[in-house]
Structure 1
Amino acid sequence: MAEAPISPVSLTWFKSSYSGASTTECVESARLSDAMAVRDSKIPDGPILTFGGDSWRRFLAAVPIEM
């Protein structure tokens, strides 16, 4: 059975902490029950990528943390 499409309106989106008000390169994320959704903030009605919980955790573990 195919999954129903995700409605961007029904999600609570948040921007990366590295995104500033003057930048044009920004992604937004939203928590799903067992995954994460990601979209381009400049195209809020555009495509949404979803990543399962394990994939998202591996991604975050691989991102270098700069202080």
Structure 2
Amino acid sequence: MSRAVAALEAELGLRLFHRTTRRLAPTEAGLVYFRRVEPLVEELERARLGAADTESHPRGRCGSPHR
């Protein structure tokens, strides 16, 4: 996880967390970033669940002859 956060920080060019050996706390920039992306992450989860839901329902018409 720390590598993923470090990669994101490098991509953004800013620190998202203050790190010590005993503590991890978000920076002001980190708080702003996470507040902005949280709704996007939630929407992505809803989209994933909606797409997965289509796969769990049977398709086609029951009893229709094959053509």
Tell me whether the two structures share a fold, i.e. TM-score over 0.5: no
**Which structure: greater strand fraction?**
1
The normalised TM-score by structure 2 is 0.30
Q: Could you say which structure has the larger radius of gyration?
A: 2
**Structure with the largest fraction of helix:** 2
Q: Give the TM-score normalised by structure 1.
A: 0.30
